[in-house]
Amino acid sequence: MSKDNKERKKEEKEMNQPNETLEPSNQIKEEEQPLNQNLEKPDISVEELQKIKEKLISTENQYLRLLADYQNLQKRTTQEKEELYKFAAQKTIEVLLPALDTFDYAKSAVKPDSKTEKIVEDFNLVFEMLLKCLKDIGLDPIDETGIPFDPFYHEPLHQVPTNELPDHTVMQVLKKGYTLNKKVIRPALVSVSIKEEEKEEKEEKKENQE
Distance, in Å, from the CA atom of 17 to the CA atom of 36, rounded to the nearest integer, reads 37
Q: Any idea what the Cα angle at residue 102 is, between residues 187 and 141, rounded to 5°?
A: 15
Q: Which pLDDT value is given to residue 37?
A: 52
* Secondary structure (3-state) at 137: coil
Please tell me what DSSP assigns to residue 187.
P
Q: Any idea what the Cα angle at residue 58 is, between residues 57 and 63, rounded to 5°?
A: 100
User: Which of 168, 91, 162, 163 is CA-nearest to residue 133?
Assistant: 91
Query: Taking the domains of the chain in order of start, what are their residue ranges?
Result: 82-137, 140-199
What is the third-level CATH fold of 140-199? Nucleotide Exchange Factor Grpe; Chain A, domain 2 (2.30.22)
**Residues 170-173: contacts with CB under 8 Å, at least 24 apart:** 170/144, 170/145, 170/146, 171/145, 171/146, 172/145, 173/142, 173/143, 173/144, 173/145
- pTM, full prediction: 0.54
| pLDDT value at 97 more than 60 | yes
pLDDT mean over 82-108: 84
Q: Which of 104-108, 133-137, 188-192 bottoms out in mean pLDDT, i.e. has the lowest? A: 104-108
Q: Which pLDDT value is given to residue 22?
A: 45
Distance, in Å, from the CA atom of 122 to the CA atom of 6, rounded to the nearest integer, reads 149
Most confident of 26-40, 68-82, 110-124: 68-82
Q: Which pLDDT value is given to residue 70?
A: 92
Distance, in Å, from the CA atom of 84 to the CA atom of 101, rounded to the nearest integer, reads 26
Distance, in Å, from the CA atom of 161 to the CA atom of 194, rounded to the nearest integer, reads 5
